[in-house]
Amino acid sequence: MADCRINYQSLLDKTIEKITSENSVPTLLIHSCCAPCSSYVLEYLSEYFKITVVYYNPNIFPLEEYKYRIDEQKRLIETMVFKNPVDFISTKYTPNDFYSTIKGMEKEPEGGKRCESCFRLRLTYTAQLAKEKSFDYFTTTLSISPMKNAALLNELGTKIGEKYGIKYLQSDFKKRNGYKRSVELSREYKLYRQDYCGCVYSKLEREKYITKG
């Protein structure tokens, strides 16, 4: 079970202090779930890392939504000004990756086992790519959401990183008003802010909530 008592922002502070004292600029592969969530993370971490963003989200539904979100991600990276370089890697739309992973969990509630399996899928892809391309670290923007369990994400990322021999950058980006800053940056860059997490199940849940409201 993920340990919610750990201060992951403090762990990130220590990592940044270490690389700053060494006068180094490590490479970091960041899995991004969407442009709004990545905005603050890129603003923050590009001060200390050479970043590459990978957009691997086979859970997104439908295809038009996937295309729109990936275009917004590209536009943000092209528009923002960074201290260190930020590059981008796009991926093909492979929804079967998601559906085969969560098979049998279709009726799980949001935030439950289905979401955990989806996190693991995306983090594993990112770790494998980071190892293949010899990055120093990998991480995800997912912890910026108030709806996401940062302890679970860090536990999964750390274990997956150990499996593939690549360091997971532990973090909780919602801390220090990270989420608030992402909202401000989204407004500044006129980013599309979706009203559901991404998969068909979260979309249906959102539509059910709106109908009840």
Q: Would you say residue 20 has pLDDT above 70?
A: yes
The answer, yes or no, to whether residue 213 has pLDDT greater than 60, is no
Reported as a pLDDT band with limits 50, 70 and 90, residue 104 is very high
DSSP symbol at 109:
P
Whether the per-residue pLDDT at 63 is higher than 60: the answer is yes
Side chain identity, residue 159:
K
- Nearest CA to 48 out of 15, 6, 79, 81 is that of 15
SS3 28: strand
Instruction: Determine the pLDDT at residue 211.
Output: 58
| Whether the Cβ atoms of residue 86 and residue 46 lie closer than 8 Å to each other | yes
> Residue 27: in which H helix or E strand, if any?
strand 27-31
Strand, helix or coil for residue 7: coil
State pTM to two decimals. Answer: 0.95
Backbone angles phi, psi at 166, to 5 degrees: -140, 135
| pLDDT score for 209 | 60
The pLDDT tens digits of the residues spanning 125-152 come to: 999 999 999 999 999 999 999 999 999 9
Is 154 in contact with 2 (CB distance < 8 Å)?
yes
Query: CA-to-CA distance for 104 and 92, rounded, in angstroms?
Result: 25
E-only strand ranges, 91-199: 137-140, 167-168
Q: What percent of the chain has pLDDT over 90?
A: 89
HEC sequence for 29-97: EEECCCHHHHHHHHHHHCCCCEEEEEECCCCCCCHHHHHHHHHHHHHHHHHCCCCCCEEEEECCCCHHH
Ordered structural domains, the chain, with CATH: 8-212 (3.40.50.620)
Classify the C-alpha dihedral 1-158-60-68 as positive or negative.
positive
